[in-house]
Amino acid sequence: MSKTKLSEIGEFGLIDLLTKDLVIKNKSTIYGVGDDAAVIENNEKQTLITTDILTEGVHFDLMYTPLKHLGYKAIVVNLSDLYAMNAIPRQVTVSIAVSGKFTVEAIEELYQGIYLACDKYGVDLIGGDTTSSFSGLVISITAIGEAKKENIIYRTGAKNTDLICVSGDLGSAYFGLQILEREKRVFEENSNSQPDLAKYSYLIERQLKPEARKDILETLRINKIKPTAMIDISDGLSSELLHICEKSKVGCKVFEDKIPIDHTSAIASEELNISRITAALNGGEDYELLFTVSLRDFDKIKGLKDISIIGHITDESTGKNIVLRSEEILELKAQGWKSPD
Ligand code: ADP
Ligand code: MG
């Protein structure tokens, strides 16, 4: 198939091509792409805004990241931040800086992933900016959401004796990345090698095509549970739990044997010789939700699908600790902690 140079259609041609089929989904989106600014109707709700920049070579490697997946993930990680505040995402803006090595078709692929995520999560693309870069691709996304004031969940509300809960499983995305990096090194040494990634497809999908846990908020709402504090896990459980503790001025005690780890991660852990608990605590990019609930909600939360209770909040003076399987107690560290196994 012939490829089109960006210079053939120009900046405005590209914007047109990327946004020509846009259909607005949300009532609050009054005006999207096509003027100097987009217009959003606010009413009585509060507006939440979050933004992220992804830089080629720092945040993603196009050797093993398909552009469609990259576009999808770029949207999802921003929506995950809004869900972590218990907000409903409504709009996104997407800004890109593109170097000459990208064709029009490549950028269209990126946008296929962007639109797929927008459709799945019901958000409108309402604008952005397009510019050139000397090397590589930079993507900046801003996501806008809304919530009633009383529904917003901050990092600050965790109280002594609250239960600490986490959705899904942890460490899989990190193992996925390690597998992809290993295959890249093998490929660089021998370009005829055909990697067998089938047995790790779950881990690779967790790395390349994560989802935001909209469904968990739904589960909590149906079961009439309102977390006291919440955060999404982008940098590993340790670092996020420390954020909640610091913002809420409390301590915590979590248990190694309660931390949810998928069996595929356990297999990869053996093969790669990386401790699974280290991956869960420090790996990152899980995009699961970490939240605290009142002890009174124990009966409501125990047994809920895809939610694990991993410990409890303590008084600030007792510190932030993890109890290992060996019963040894270690202080949680944001990075660099290695388990003895
Ligand atoms: P301005 O010169 O006022 O910044 P632009 O010509 O950059 O406007 O953009 C025209 C319209 O296209 C605006 O509505 C802008 O938000 C939108 N837009 C520009 N780049 C992108 C992009 N990469 N993705 C989506 N919308 C975009
Ligand atoms: Mg512009």
Dump pLDDT digits (tens) for 5-47: 999 999 999 999 999 999 999 999 999 999 999 999 988 999 9
Q: How would DSSP label each residue in 45-106?
A: SEEEEEEEEEEBTTTB-TTT--HHHHHHHHHHHHHHHHHTTTPEEEEEEEEEEE-TT-BHHH
Confidence of residue 111 (pLDDT cuts 50, 70, 90): very high
Q: Whose CA is nearest to atom 11 of ligand 1?
A: 34
Calculate how far, in angstroms, residue 87's C-alpha sits from the geometric centre of ligand 1: 26
- Average pLDDT, stretch 292-299? 98
* DSSP 8-state code for residue 202: H
In single-letter form, the type of residue at position 51 comes to T
Measured distance CA(290)–CA(285) in Å, rounded = 13
Sheet containing strand 88-98, strands side by side: 46-55, 138-147, 88-98, 124-132
pLDDT of residue 74: 98
Confidence of residue 336 (pLDDT cuts 50, 70, 90): very low
Q: Whose CA is nearest to atom 2 of ligand 1?
A: 36
27 C-beta neighbours (distance < 10 Å), count: 9
| 314-331 per-position pLDDT tens digit | 999 999 999 999 999 999
- Average pLDDT, stretch 68-78? 98
Which ligand sits closest to the CA of 37?
Answer: 1
Confidence of residue 114 (pLDDT cuts 50, 70, 90): very high
pLDDT of residue 158: 98
Average pLDDT over the chain reads: 95
Calculate how far, in angstroms, residue 61's C-alpha sits from the geometric centre of ligand 1: 26
Ligand 1, pocket residues at CB < 6 Å:
15, 18-19, 33-36, 94, 96, 125, 127-130
pLDDT of residue 340: 45
Measured distance CA(310)–CA(312) in Å, rounded = 7
Calculate how far, in angstroms, residue 118's C-alpha sits from the geometric centre of ligand 1: 17
| 210-259 per-position pLDDT tens digit | 999 999 999 999 999 999 999 999 999 999 999 999 999 999 999 999 99
Measured distance CA(214)–CA(255) in Å, rounded = 26
Which ligand sits closest to the CA of 98?
Answer: 1
- Average pLDDT, stretch 63-73? 97
Confidence of residue 337 (pLDDT cuts 50, 70, 90): very low
Q: Whose CA is nearest to atom 19 of ligand 1?
A: 129
| 51-62 per-position pLDDT tens digit | 999 999 999 999
Residue 339 has pLDDT above 70, yes or no: no
pLDDT of residue 191: 81
pLDDT of residue 338: 44
pLDDT of residue 220: 98
CA atoms within 13 A on the CB side of 42: 7
Residue 271 has pLDDT above 90, yes or no: yes
Lowest mean pLDDT among 178-182, 187-191, 197-201: 187-191
Calculate how far, in angstroms, residue 129's C-alpha sits from the geometric centre of ligand 2: 4
Which ligand sits closest to the CA of 35?
Answer: 1
Tell me which of 6, 9, 15 to substitute to probe ligand 1's pocket, judged by most ligand atoms within 8 Å of the beta carbon.
Answer: 15
pLDDT of residue 167: 98
Which ligand sits closest to the CA of 130?
Answer: 1
Tell me which of 115, 129, 131 to substitute to probe ligand 1's pocket, judged by most ligand atoms within 8 Å of the beta carbon.
Answer: 129
